[in-house]
Amino acid sequence: MGEPQAVYTTDEYGRPFIILREQAKKTRAHGIEAIKTHILAAKTVANIVKSSLGPRGLDKILISPDGEITVTNDGATILGQMQVEHQIAKLLVQLSKSQDDEIGDGTTGVVVLAGALLEASEALLDKGIHPIRIADGFDRACTVAVEELGRISDTIEFSKDNTSNLLKSAMTSLGSKIVSKEHEQFAQIAVDAVMQVADLDRRDVPFDLIKVDGKVGGSLADTTLIKGVLIDKDMSHPQMPRSIKDARIAILTCPFEPPRPKTKHKLDITSVEEYHKLRDYEKEKFNSMIKHVKDTGANLVICQWGFDDEANHLLMQNDLPSVRWVGGPEIELIAIATQGRIVPRFEDLKAAKLGKAGVVRELSFGTTRDKMLVIEDCANTRAVTVFVRGSNKMIVDEAKRALHDALCAVRNLVVDNRVVYGGGAADISCSIAVSKAADEIPSIEQYAMRAFATALDAVPMALAQNSGLSPIETLTEVRSRQIKENNSRLGIDCNGRGQNDMKEQFVYDPLISKRQQYLLATQLVRAVLKIDDVIVAGEADE
């Protein structure tokens, strides 16, 4: 007897209907095909950023709808600005963003790993293994890999006076960036900025005290760290002093102008006397406001709003230098740095609410004499500003992004000072550990674990490929040496220094960054494997 050609079944109301045998097969196959389509979309996105991995990785040009150009090799920036239509590809964009938000570095690596895991799972689906069993195997393998990371990690010592180890980690982060020509200087700036604001006892780095600003002009080597606040403003009147020592700063969010009626009243002036009355009233109000400020002992006014020429002239006559149109975030940073209070009304202004700074000076540069205001020797010495210079806007923006990654790498070591070694060394070591663990598991999940081990090799292979080496030969050689010498520090020699020991090359990765990459990539792959269909949700019929 052959197989019956039809399946008899009932729907949820008990009504019988027939599924033809071929249709039943098609229904089962449909879910797998849908998953494969999703995997293809994710692989396409991962392959775009794969060539940007490592110190020899290539950059991408991103063109915005307005025609603005961004040149970068930062994974989160590339994916964030790409126009991605497929829903699964959008998940990969969110994956790199979550790595960027949580850790700040490793955004390219996490996408490459997720793409490799999905590619490996495709072969398992072809063997007929159920997607959930694959996902369970990946979870087990991820647990083994994270344990192995903890085992091979080294603790690095540092203090306020000895930051050489932090410097090496920052240099690893900057090695693949556009600033690599000046990466020692940028790494030193990142370390100094973090150490200035860090609370080492609480292992806390408040990033809101570090401001990164940039101006076109000059070279990357002109980038400096200012121990204070830098704002892109100058004095409101050209005859006001350019430098103020022992500054006592009134930080105002109320404008220098007479109060206006809040109702829709009209004021009709029909005679000269009434006009003079109004002018005298305004002048009296301005003088009253300036007196309020002078009585507190303030010798500099920083105002969130603008003020007209009359107020500006009176401020100059009363020897009260002022800065106007200072943005909200900058006002807050000035208040934190100078330990002043933001004052919303002139009546609330008191001497105790003034901010204090050793010197406030105008900084001018370039043939155009661009001016910026520097507030140094602040009451709160922990506020710092990094002032980035570059030959064009594109380089300044990329340098800012690179500096953000370096600051995050140093911050991560302050939070948890354990490191693993870069250059793919940690990935190869975890791959070997997962392969060994897979041999001891009797269930079908061992296939998924071996696939996970293969996927971990994708990062060192991409590093070798981007460095112009033969990927498979290089990986095989380093992997066999790791097993033979039992040395988890051996990785891909991307810079051609003839040395595979990443500890000797000072290539450090913070442990929490690498661990987060594994956990996030595995979570995303599990989610993708569980999706067998995409349904566009529409509004229900009335």
Per-residue pLDDT of 149-196, as tens digits, reads 999 988 888 887 778 888 888 887 787 777 777 888 888 999 999 988
Between strands 224-226 and 210-216, the pairing is: unpaired
Closest CA to 479 of 435, 440, 531, 514: 435
Question: Tell me, what's the pLDDT at 9?
Answer: 55
% of residues, the chain, pLDDT over 70: 91
Task: Examine the pLDDT at 542 and tell me if it is beyond 50.
Answer: no
Task: Examine the pLDDT at 18 and tell me if it is beyond 90.
Answer: no
State the catalytic residues: 74, 107-108, 405
79-93, 343-357, 404-418, 526-540: which has the minimum mean pLDDT?
A: 526-540
- Provide the CATH number for the domain formed by 235-379 in this structure: 3.50.7.10
**Distance in angstroms (rounded) separating the CA atoms of residues 214 and 152:** 39
Q: How many other C-beta atoms lie within 10 A of the C-beta of residue 337?
A: 27
Q: Round the average pLDDT of the chain to a whole number and report it.
A: 83
Q: 6 pairs with which residues across the strands?
A: 20
Question: Tell me, what's the pLDDT at 480?
Answer: 92
Question: Tell me, what's the pLDDT at 26?
Answer: 46
Half-sphere exposure for 522 (CA within 13 Å, toward CB)? 25
Average of per-residue pLDDT across 287-303: 86
Under CATH, what is the fold of the domain 22-155+426-478+509-529? GROEL; domain 1 (1.10.560)
Helix, strand, coil: what percent of the chain each, to 5?
Answer: 50, 15, 30
**Span(s) in the chain for CATH 1.10.560.10:** 22-155+426-478+509-529
Question: Tell me, what's the pLDDT at 23?
Answer: 44
DSSP single-letter state for residue 236: S
% of residues, the chain, pLDDT over 90: 13
Q: How far is CA 168 from the centre of its chain?
A: 20
Taking the alpha carbons of 113, 115, 118, 120 in that order, is the dihedral positive or negative? negative
Quick: pLDDT tens for 377-398. 887 778 889 999 888 888 888 8
Question: Tell me, what's the pLDDT at 78?
Answer: 87
Task: Examine the pLDDT at 440 and tell me if it is beyond 70.
Answer: yes
Question: Tell me, what's the pLDDT at 25?
Answer: 45
Question: Tell me, what's the pLDDT at 172?
Answer: 79
Q: How many other C-beta atoms lie within 10 A of the C-beta of residue 409?
A: 29
Q: How far is CA 243 from the centre of its chain?
A: 35
Closest CA to 248 of 345, 340, 346, 377: 340
**Span(s) in the chain for CATH 3.50.7.10:** 235-379
**What pTM does this model have?**
0.80
DSSP string, 392-426: SHHHHHHHHHHHHHHHHHHHHHHH--EEEETTTHH
